[in-house]
Amino acid sequence: MSNTSTTAKTFLEAVKARRTYYGISKQSTISDDQIVSLVQEAVKYSPSSFNSQSARAVVLLGENHDKLWNIVKETLRKIVPADQFASTEQRVDSFKAGYGSVLFFEDTAVIEGLQNQFPSYADNFPKWSNQSSGILQYVVWTLLEEEGLGASLQHYNPLIDEEVKQTWNIPASWQLIAQMPFGTPTAEPGEKQFQPIDERVKIFK
């Protein structure tokens, strides 16, 4: 008999199912309230070092989602050579084609407070903060997948940081870490390739 519980199997199935979706539409399989609740629960229950709870998130839906990717596009237009911009525009428009976006931040004021409180760990707190954010991003990503939504993780920070903060009145201490556009999938991702697991996991008994 397998010693893997039904709950663990369900969780593992969710882990396996999470993929990067670039083809997404302006449709959602769940309500806006459910999307917001999902992100709120993920922020509340995702772990953080010293229980610092430094994670912050912004959910952009409707016109606000479109506005984000317009900001990205116009920011890139200023720095990408004109003869190369068409492919960049197409990529950004594929994110804009989604239903919404989740912006992930870390509150640097919380991190600085911990650095002052525990100076011997000062250099580690920013690293631990990024690790905590990564956990939160993965939790939200997997939960969206479980609800039938496709998502991807993007990093246009720090290029868009200031305009994002001004547009949505984001506190100055919030540092943008990643952007996650999502929507109902319009295309399935390709088959995932895996490196030999015995080269990645070593076991000593």
Q: What is the pLDDT of residues 53-97, one digit of tens each?
A: 999 999 999 999 999 999 999 999 999 999 999 999 999 999 999
Q: Which burial class, exposed, middle or buried, applies to 129 when counting CB atoms under 10 A from its CB (0-12, 13-18, 19+)?
A: buried
Q: Where are the domains of the chain?
A: 20-186
The answer to whether the peptide bond before residue 158 is cis (omega within 30 degrees of 0) is yes
- Closest by CA position to 62, among listed 144, 183, 176: 183
A 10 A CB-CB count for 151 gives 28
Q: What is the pLDDT of residues 176-191, one digit of tens each?
A: 999 999 999 999 999 9
Task: Report residue 169 CA to chain centroid gap.
Answer: 20
- CA 135 to CA 144: how far, in whole Å? 14
Reduced to 3 states, what is the DSSP secondary structure of residue 187?
A: coil
**Band of the pLDDT at 5, cuts 50, 70, 90?**
low
Q: What tokens appear for 202 in the block?
A: 């070593």
- Closest by CA position to 57, among listed 38, 77, 80, 82: 38
Using a cut of 0.85, tell me whether the model's pTM lies above it.
Answer: yes
Contact of 150 with 182, CB cutoff 8 Å: yes
Per the document, the length of the chain is: 205
CATH of 20-186 given 1.10.287.1080, 3.40.50.300, 3.60.15.10, 3.40.109.10: 3.40.109.10
Find the mean pLDDT for residues 122-129: 97
